[in-house]
Structure 1
Amino acid sequence: MTNPSAAATATPVVHEENAHANQFALLGQRRFAPFFWTQFAGAANDNLFKFAFTVMVTYQLQLSWMPPSMAGLVIGALFILPFLLFSATSGQLTDKFDKTKMIRFVKDLEIVIMLIAAWGFVTANAVVLLGCVFLMGLHSTLFGPVKFAYLPQVLDARELTGGNGMVEMGTFVAILLGQVAGGLLVALPNVGHTSVAVGCVLLALVGRGVAQAIPRAPATDPGLVINWNPVSETWRNLKLANQNVVVFRSLLGISWMWFFGAVFLSQFPSFAKEVLHGDEQVASLLLVVFSVGIGVGSLLCETLSRRQVEIGLVPLGAIGMSVFAIDLYFASRGLAPATHDMGIGAFVHQPAHWRVMADLALLSLFAGLYSVPMYALIQLRSQPTHRARIIAANNILNALFMIGSSVIAGALLGAGFTIPQIFLFTGIANAVVAFYIFMLVPEYLLRFVAWVLSRFVYRFDIKGETHIPTEGAAVLVCNHVSFIDAVLLMAASPRPIRFIMDHRIFRVPVLGWLFKLAKAIPIAPQKDDPAAYEAAFAKAQEVLREGDLLAIFPEGAITRDGELQPFKGGVMKILEGARAQGIEPPVIPMALTNLWGSYFSRIELRGGERVAMARPFRRGFFSRVGLNVGAPVPPAEVQPDALRQRVSALLAS
């Protein structure tokens, strides 16, 4: 059982004193660097061990009971099996115990496993090594929830995207280096097996040594009673995740990304040989290109997100994944046949192959843009007491989707599909699945629109964004200049915002549809529609009661002359209703600047008429607009005139 009071009071750690210029600066901080290198060493060791064993079985051992064609499948299945069996238990252990102690225990376990594996390599005992594959899968199963639950406990909300990007990049670089090292070491004449054994043990020792420097990360739910039944606990974890619709559907979105990636990774050897007419080195080159693309995309997330959890990047990533997966099909058609398998030199010499590599690099880059914000969103929106169990549910879903990927790819191959046709099918399926997810969770689509608008229509500068709270109820108060004020506020906020908006704005084509998707609250003047007026304020109280952000434009309408209008009393009514429920939300004053006169604001035409959305390019492209955010005002100090003065001062700053 969990402690409900703990769930209600737990808060993420904020580290304003650790403000850094970019995500790479985290590597100089103890709260992140030892963890990063521990994760790096573990991922590298996993892949050195698995790849060396796969090569050994494929090329060096003659096993009647495991032919080379089955080696990769058997090793992959044994590695994934613990994720299905033990993820639920792993999530509970991570929530119950200090995460640093969990990490050190897992690294101790890795040393024991690698010592057994070292004996298996030296004696060329495939049965022992298969057992170690399963145990390394268990090691990764235990580490997975710790990895993703640790980050939000030591990084604040504005560091999560960068931290996740660094971990994702590091993981894929470690995978690549581990596989390259495993292939090279096991092929050394006479000393190959011994070299792999020594390498695995050394990496495990290095990982454990670095883990000793990780600072404490206390348990988030120490009173949790462990349920050792994996079936019932898995079901319970999925229900926990499903309590937050955005989180649960994000889990499905990440699992789909693993399905998508598994199709390509599993087909690289055959694609290199049968379609590109390359040798094993060409297959390795494809893996390098794919890994570098993922790493670059992961690192770009912080740059493109203004150091907040920007899920608007997810639709952009999905679009890129589909476009370049489909183009990979067309790039693969009509390649000149070769009389023998090409090496890397001959392969890169042909211009047609550069398009293939560009497609793979861009496809994986956009996959990085797709996955990192989703992981950060899950970490941010999950209750701290349940976070590790929700990550465990994600690992279970990932494993199931990867198994499904293998089954479907195998069925398509059996039905006569070529590998490029499978890539085409996957690209089209990705577009369909992404569209479905974004319709189920319109927040992704809304943030994408806000992201595009604030970067490609305007040059949007934000000052004082740290005043926007990353958790808890708050009332945002802003001047009203244009029809897209709400969209720009969405782009500036790390969290969803519910807006109270004039009911007439919902009649505007496209924008009205977007605001309905955003669940904006329509309000009409009390004298025109008393029922709608009261319903709007009742809905506002519900938003604050749930601990969300509520935004109001207290002028009551878009300015007609560009000047700040008197503030009406709606904000006072909201605060009075909140106080009656025992809620004291701070009020955050905001001012949109330089937006008057742009396409979405009104402009005076000949004859004195003021209209909006006329002369679309009257300010040119990328016109500079801004948002100035002021310090929170305690609700007891809020008065309409005083609040207007604060917004006016922000306009002048």
Structure 2
Amino acid sequence: MSDQQTPNGTPDPRDHSQFSLLKSRRFAPFFFTQFLGAFNDNVYKNSLMAMITFGLLSSTMDLSLMNNLGAMLFILPFFLFSALAGQLSDKYEKSYLIRRIKLLEIVIMVLGACAFYFSATAGLMCLLFLMGTQSAFFGPVKYSIIPQHLDNHELVGGNALVEMGTFLAILTGTLIASVIATREDGVMWVSAVIISVSCLGYLVSRQIPSAPAANPTQKVRFNPITETWRTLGYARQTKSIFLAVLAISWFWFLGAAYLTQIYGFAKDFLGGDQSVVMVLLATFSIGIALGSLLCERLSGHKVELGLVPLGSIGLTIFGIDLFLQDLPAVSNELINAGEFLSSPWNLRIVFDFLMIGVFGGFYIVPLYAMVQARSEPQHRSQVIAAINIMNALFMVASAITGIIVLGVLDLSIPQFFMILAILNALVSIYIYRTIPEFAMRFIIWVLTHTMYRVNHINLHKIPDEGACVLVCNHVSFVDALLIGGACRRPVRFVTFKPIYNMPVLNFIFRTAKAIPIDSKKADPEGYEKAFERIAEELRAGEVVCIFPEGKLTTTGEIDEFKNGISRILDETPVPVIPMALRGLWGSFFSHKDRPALTRLPQRFWSKIDMVVGDTVPAEDASPGYLKEKVAELRGDKQ
């Protein structure tokens, strides 16, 4: 979908690239603060495990048990402190909280450096608990500060950058740890890195602008059981938000499973050494970063839930393909990354991990943006805290599932990947059946990204808030879908009842809360109810779109505008936004030469324009005047 434009052909300033946020003080200090924190966590954790693995730190405990204990110590604080963290984030100014959390990180890293120096393995393991505590307190602030500093049309881009930064920080932290931890002077290097990065993170955090408390009267209570249940209750208040929370946590279930099994998959089924593990980890992380960044482009700078089903489809397809791979015969001698990548068959495995990451980005970014946009501001941090609690729970469940499938059932890792792909499909079907909005947005997104290339001109003239009526020429059966797919706000379409009742379209219109209408003669009761619904929606501050011609054009020209618009404005005087569709005449869904839908589609990826005009006050919005305005916007291009 092309960039929105203004009349002189320049992009609307609201449709800037997401990377421009990295130059803005509203976002850049926060982004680099969270990036450095995630990087430091992974340098510490992976350095600790590398030193234990290669005997640089002594321990009487089995290595596998150490790994599991470390994971437990890091995750436990999310259960204990997330509810408290959400309360504090709602009650206090957020940049202040971030600076205090970063000071705690400095203390933890100084203690970690001392523990590394004295080879205090037990102390290093206990510090994982403190690191988890710090992360538990940072999480609610991290995601709830974004909508305070960014506009709605920047939410997707901001979340995309955060997800990209998080996974690149995990990757680079892991790589740096693998390089410095096993050096002869590794303790010195690790200590220097974790202390200096924590100090740098604190200095950067001081540049984060103020984010006022969302709910200063919030009572702070510390009771891990009752407050955790109360926090989850905030997420459960809105069904769509709670389903989004579960969907986000399901992604972390999948991610934890893939990341945990990469090591065994690379060694036992690909015959690869540690460098092959790094290739797969890098590919997966880069895939998520790439998918996250593509979200803004594919979503048109709005929260596009249609990408979520697309992401889940990709996760299932490429998860199954990992199982279907013809794996090489494994020899006693492990191969390195260069040898691994020299085989064309192995490139398919790398591609699968890349695409699992890309589609994971499509899946996760819109969900986070949706939760931020739809949560009540005074409880937003506690909803984010609920996500952290559920993420931790699902990651524990992921580990238990892996133990059962690989240990108890004695299945292979490729078979486990197949099970994950099937489970993902089942979970996705449940979510999309429960919340049809996801499937509806997916259908619209596919239509507007396959059959058409939609050029938006002056889309920013549709106000971001407040009631208004959109009036547009009516060319095809998919006019409403194209408009609904472009607008950043939900639109209530007044739809001719026979079109409303068409298969597939009926599902979309019902889900989008469209208002069916027929002629007064054909359905007098339904006619009156439609106008009552229109007035209700406008009084509620919604956007209502009507096609004043009352029917699809059969000539390509704009027909007479009916008086229904006058009745709407007499009952509820609101601004009117004229708009026009250009280039749809002659498409599969129009009546050119023969009735619509009666021949095979002849045009794919055809370019159409959606042009929005200046606001017309209610008192000036007569049917004749509005027709003139729409005709001017359409011009000669049908």
The correspondence for 1:386, drawn from 368, 379, 382, is 379
Q: Are 1:460 and 2:457 an aligned pair?
A: no
One-letter code aligned to 1:155: L
Q: Which of 609, 614, 619 matches 1:631? A: 614
Q: 1:139 aligns with which of 134, 137, 152?
A: 134
1:366 is aligned to: 359
1:518 and 2:539 matched:
no
Q: Does 1:285 pair with 2:279?
A: yes
Q: Do 2:12 and 2:460's aligned partners in 1 also have CA atoms closer than 8 Å?
A: no
1:261 & 1:70 partners in 2: Cα distance? 21
Equivalent residue runs for 1:464-503 within 5 Å: 464-503=458-497
C-alpha RMSD of matched pairs (Å): 2.0
The one-letter amino acid of 1:492's match is: A
SS, match of residue 648 in structure 1? helix
- Aligned pair count reads 624
SS in 2 for 1:462: strand
Q: Aligned partner of 1:622: which letter?
A: W
Identify the match of residue 596 of structure 1 among 579, 585, 591: 585
Aligned to 1:69: 64
Question: Among residues 419, 425, 429, which one is paired with 1:425 in the alignment?
Answer: 419
Deviation at 1:20, TM superposition (A): 6.5
One-letter amino acid matched to 1:553: F
Match for residue 546 of structure 2 among 548, 552, 556: 552
Distance of aligned partners of 1:516 and 1:499 in 2 relative to their CA distance in 1, 3 Å threshold: same
The one-letter amino acid of 1:394's match is I
Q: 106, 110, 117: which is aligned to 2:105? A: 110
Give, as a single letter, the amino acid of the residue that structure 2 aligns with 1:652.
G
Is 1:216 matched up with 2:210?
Answer: yes
* 1:51 and 1:179 in contact (8 A); partners too: yes
Look up the match of 2:601: 617
Contact between 2:270 and 2:327, CA under 8 Å: does it hold in 1? no
1:463 CA drift (Å): 0.9
User: In the superposition, relative to structure 1, how do residues 473 and 429 fare at CA in structure 2: closer, same or farther (>3 Å)?
Assistant: farther
Shift, 1:429, TM fit: 1.2
**TM-superposed deviation, 1:426:** 0.6
Asked if 2 retains the 8 angstrom alpha-carbon contact of 1:20 and 1:26, the reply is: no
* TM-fit CA distance, 1:546: 4.2
- What is the CA–CA distance in structure 2 between the aligned matches of 1:534 and 1:282, rounded to whole Å? 68
Is the alpha carbon distance of 1:89 and 1:275 closer, same or farther for their aligned partners in structure 2, counting shifts above 3 Å? same
Instruction: Determine helix, strand or coil for the equivalent of 1:592.
Output: strand
Q: Deviations over 1:357-379 (max 9, x none)?
A: 11111111110111111111211
- Give yes or no for the alignment of 1:356 onto 2:349: yes
User: Matches of 1:602 and 1:20 in 2, distance apart?
Assistant: 34
Deviation at 1:267, TM superposition (A): 0.5
Q: What residue is the counterpart of 1:204 in the other structure?
A: 198
Partner of 1:275: 269
Please tell me whether residue 651 in structure 1 is matched to residue 626 in structure 2. no
Stretch moving more, 301-310 or 282-291: 301-310
Residue 399 of structure 1: which of 376, 392, 396 is its match? 392
Does 593-602 or 542-551 show the bigger shift? 542-551
Taking a change above 3 Å as real, the CA distance of residues 418 and 309 of structure 1, as seen in their structure-2 partners, is same
* Alpha-carbon shift at residue 85 of structure 1 (Å): 1.5
- 2:334 is the counterpart of 1:345: no
Measured in 1, the distance between the counterparts of 2:15 and 2:550 equals 39
Once the 2 structures are TM-superposed, how far is the Cα of residue 297 of structure 1 from its aligned partner? Answer: 0.8
Residue 3 of structure 2 corresponds to none
Query: What is the rounded CA distance, in whole Å, between the counterparts of 2:168 and 2:570 in structure 1?
Result: 54
Residue of structure 2 in register with 1:232 after alignment: 226
In structure 2, relative to structure 1, the CA distance for the partners of 1:174 and 1:93 (3 Å cut) is: same
> What is the letter of the counterpart of residue 41 of structure 1?
L
Shift of 1:57: 2.6
Look up the SS of the partner of 1:522 in the other structure. Answer: strand
- By how many angstroms is 1:383 displaced? 2.1
- Counterparts in 2 of 1:243 and 1:182: CA distance versus 1, 3 Å: same
1:12 corresponds to which residue? none
Worse-matched range after superposition: 527-536 or 139-148: 527-536
Distance 1:242 1:558 in 2: 43
Pair 554,106 (structure 1): closer, same or farther in 2 beyond 3 Å: same
Deviates more, 1:227-236 or 1:341-350: 227-236
Shift of the alpha carbon at 1:58? Answer: 2.7
Q: Is the 8 A contact 2:12 2:458 kept in 1?
A: no
CA offsets 1:12-32 (integer angstroms, 9 cap, x no match): xxxx99757411122111111
1:48 equivalent in structure 2 = 43
Cα gap change, 1:576 to 1:102, in 2 (>3 Å): farther
After the TM superposition, which of the residue ranges 511-520 and 146-155 deviates more from structure 2?
Answer: 511-520
Change (3 A) 1:176 1:97: same
Partners of 1:644 and 1:224 in 2: CA distance: 53
Secondary structure in structure 2 of the residue aligned to 1:448 = helix
Question: For residues 572 and 406 of structure 1, do their structure 2 counterparts lie closer, same or farther at Cα, with a shift above 3 Å needed?
Answer: farther
The residue that corresponds to 1:10 in the other structure is: none
Q: Deviations over 1:181-222 (max 9, x none)?
A: 122222111x21232122111110010011111111222222
Q: Among 180, 186, 193, which residue is 1:185 paired with?
A: 180
> C-alpha distance in 2, partners of 1:94/1:511?
43
The equivalent of 2:312 in structure 1 is: 318
Cα deviation, residue 578, structure 1: 4.3
CA separation of 1:575/1:57 partners in 2, compared to 1, >3 Å: closer, same or farther? Answer: farther
Q: CA deviation at 1:446?
A: 1.8
Output the CA distance in 2 between the equivalents of 1:635 and 1:165: 40
Q: 1:441 aligns with which of 435, 439, 442?
A: 435
Please say if residues 494 and 547 of structure 2, whose CA atoms lie closer than 8 Å, have aligned partners that are also in contact. Answer: yes
Does 1:252 find its partner at 2:246? yes
Cα distance in 2, alignment partners of residues 538 and 106 from structure 1:
53
**Counterparts of 1:221 and 1:229 in 2: how far apart (Å)?**
20
Question: CA contact under 8 A between 1:150 and 1:217: conserved in structure 2?
Answer: yes
State the identity as a percent.
45
> 1:504 & 1:19 partners in 2: Cα distance?
37
Q: Flag the 1:467–1:227 CA change in 2: closer, same or farther, 3 A.
A: farther
C-alpha separation between the residues in 1 aligned to 2:545 and 2:227?
39
Q: Is the 8 A contact 1:273 1:341 kept in 2?
A: yes
Q: Is the 8 A contact 1:442 1:518 kept in 2?
A: no
Q: Please state whether the residue corresponding to 1:500 is helix, strand or coil.
A: strand
TM-score when scaled to structure 2? 0.93
Q: Are positions 1:640 and 2:633 aligned together?
A: no
Counterpart in the other structure of 1:9: none
Pick one of 486, 498, 501 that aligns with 1:504: 498
Give the partner amino acid of 2:596. A
Structure 1 residues 228, 38: CA separation in 2 closer, same or farther (over 3 Å shift)? same
Q: Distance in 2 between matches of 1:138 and 1:459?
A: 48
SS of match in other structure, 2:220: coil
Q: Specify the SS of the correspondent of 1:621.
A: coil
Counterpart of 1:597 in structure 2: which amino acid? G
Q: Which structure 2 segments of 5+ residues have no match? A: 1-10
Corresponding position: 1:96 with 2:96: no
* Counterpart contact for 2:14–2:153, Cα < 8 Å: no
Shift of 1:636: 4.7
The one-letter code sitting in structure 2 at the alignment partner of 1:408 is T
Q: Map Cα deviations across residues 413-441 of structure 1 (whole Å, 9 max, x no partner).
A: 12111000000111111112112212222
Gap runs ≥5 in structure 1: 1-15, 580-584, 606-610
Provide Cα deviations, 1:12-56, integer angstroms capped at 9, x if missing partner. xxxx99757411122111111111111110000011111111222
The residue type paired with residue 115 of structure 1 is V
Give the match for residue 538 of structure 1.
532
Q: TM-score, normalised by structure 1?
A: 0.91
